[in-house]
Chain A
Amino acid sequence: MVPLTISDLQETAKVIRRNSIEAIYKAGSGHPGGSLSATDILVSLFFGGVLNLDKKDLKSEKRDRFILSCGHVCPSFYAVLARLGFFNEDLLGNLRDLGSSLQGHPSSVYADFIETSTGSLGQGLSVGAGMALGIKFKTPSSKCKIVVLSSDGEQNEGSHWEAVMQSAFHKLGNLCLIIDKNRMQVGGETKKVLDMDSLSAKYKSFDWEVYEADGHDFRSLLSVFSRFNEAKDKPKVVICKTVRGKGVSFMEDNLKYHSCTLSEEEYRKAMEELC
């Protein structure tokens, strides 16, 4: 797919935000805060020419693998896949419905376009590292990359750091981690729950290649993502500074919108702002 221009990326992000909010509203529950903070990252990855995917051949050996480790922000991920034609956009209205392939957290039990089930934090990077090792082992010349999206809350998980150590030890240059650092988690501000502000220094000391980006600036995101193919012998992490609830004024940095039911009024106001 031809990468979109910056202005088209901005327009697409608006659509993704609208579709995510609408899906969460119809579902009666969901995680709007993280879905909105991760939207521009997802749009850059999927519409900015970063990920090489084939919607007609979901298991193509040549595809890049994408894992949404912070599975709760799936409404925006689903909205992105729908926009790309992986499934009909109408399906977004079935989010969290009985029998839907759009489960409340991404589930490979119900959807073939999910690489691995997530939702229980701290597992995505391990699976991504296993894929990265597997690909390196079977096809050393492979250009496939594995991209894992995580959140700053997920950095609390011990098993995640097991995978961080393992990935550097095995020099997994084909593994790219992105952290949506929206500075909030269920219990409040991350720095008040379990301070992770020195993330960059932590990853550097674990021997990762560390980048930082403005998670709502497409130029900043794409310029960093374009370096995914560099440093073949080190895993890469991009720490993206974001705002939880980005794009909807009353949701921004508001703890209430981590996980909630949206009232009709909240829904209407949000959709007006996202016009």
Chain B
Amino acid sequence: MLISMRDAFGEAMLELGKQNPKVLALTADLGPSVRLDGFAREFPDRFFNVGVAEANMIGLAAGMALEGFIPFCASFAVFLPGRCFDQIRVSLCQNKANVKLVGSHCGFTNPGDGASAQSVEDIALMRVLPEMTVICPADAIETKKAVLAMAHQNGPAYLRISRTETQVVTSKSDPFKIGEARVIKQGKKITLIACGTMVGIALQAAEKIDGEVINLSTIKPLDKATILKSIRKTGRVITIEEHSIYGGMGSAVTEMVSQQYPVPVKIMGIPDVFGESAREYQQLLDKYGLTVENIIKNYKLF
């Protein structure tokens, strides 16, 4: 089944809006694109289209949070966090403001628009900030759970979601807790750690190579115990993410593994390039090797 995470985000916001009157939604003129139109219709007084002005949106949200609200700011990941790093650093994180950032159209999931609209750097930007929680859900089902969980946890958090419809790989009954990684397939030969849109292909690859798959939906704080337990068994790791190979989830895993239980790690992701246009999402995944075949190839190179 294919569902877009942004659709799930929109549904979750509607549910959250009903549950909690303190939840506000802000967007910098991308309401329909991030599926906030439903929230806007249902709760017009709690929806703020702040215009095409992302930096100010962060400050506004910080001020609202300091007054006791739970603002969710949603835009494309290139703009949020890309455009407003300093506002997030100073006005959100230093204040421990209870603001939730949602970066949609992550990685190549907006294939046609090209580099200016494709964020391959956002995990790196957000995970380096003290106080920030970074969540990269595997699919639409997990996105919904993550949105609800974020609202219940105090402090700044970043949610990275996709535009394209992607494979549903978790089920409604699976537990979800911020900060907890989940082994979603047992295996002996290698640990495949994936996040977001790449969890699905990691699962497919693992079937062919007796791999263990960890869905690392929270990148910060990092669930060290689950990762270490798996690599003590397998002795090697491939990380797979739809993000730059620099500074992203693979870096987070490697930083920890290299200090706590050094084993060989291969980081798979987007090389040191900006995005580019393509007619089909899959063309970009193929070009940059984010495929089942490439995971298997890298496994054989160990």
Report which A residues bind B (CB closer than 8 A).
Answer: 107-109, 115-120, 122-135, 137-138, 158-159, 162-163, 165-166
Known: A126-B87, A166-B50. A134 touches B62 (CB 8 A): no
Asked whether A117 and B94 contact (CB < 8 A) given A131-B64, A159-B87, the answer is yes
Give the interface size class of chain B: 20 to 34
| Chain A contact residues, majority secondary structure | helix
Residue in contact with B95 in the complex, picked from A117, A126, A158, A159, CB distance below 8 Å = A117
Smallest Cβ distance from A163 to chain B, in angstroms?
5
Q: Does B174 contact A (CB under 8 A)?
A: no
Greatest chain A CB density within 10 A among B45, B48, B56, B96 is at: B56
Contact B51 A127 (CB under 8 A): no
Q: Is the CB of A126 within 8 A of B59?
A: yes
Closest to A126 in B: B59
Select from chain B the residue with minimum beta-carbon distance to A132: B63
B209: A residues at CB distance < 8 A: none
B66 and A126 form a contact (CB under 8 A) = no
If A109-B94, A120-B86, A127-B66 are given as contacts, then 20 extra A-B residue pairs at C-beta distance below 8 Å, sorted by A number, are A116-B63, A116-B91, A116-B95, A123-B87, A126-B59, A126-B63, A127-B91, A129-B56, A129-B59, A130-B59, A130-B60, A133-B48, A133-B64, A134-B63, A134-B69, A163-B60, A165-B51, A166-B50, A166-B51, A166-B56
Which of A108, A135, A162: most chain B CB closer than 10 A?
A162
**Contact of A134 (CB < 8 Å), options: B64, B86, B89:** B64
Known contacts A126-B58, A162-B56, A165-B53: A134-B66 contact under CB 8 Å: yes
Question: What are 24 A-B interface contacts by the 8 Å CB criterion?
Answer: A108-B95, A116-B63, A116-B95, A117-B95, A118-B90, A119-B90, A120-B86, A120-B89, A120-B90, A124-B59, A127-B62, A127-B63, A129-B60, A130-B59, A130-B61, A134-B64, A134-B68, A138-B67, A138-B69, A158-B55, A159-B59, A162-B51, A165-B51, A165-B53
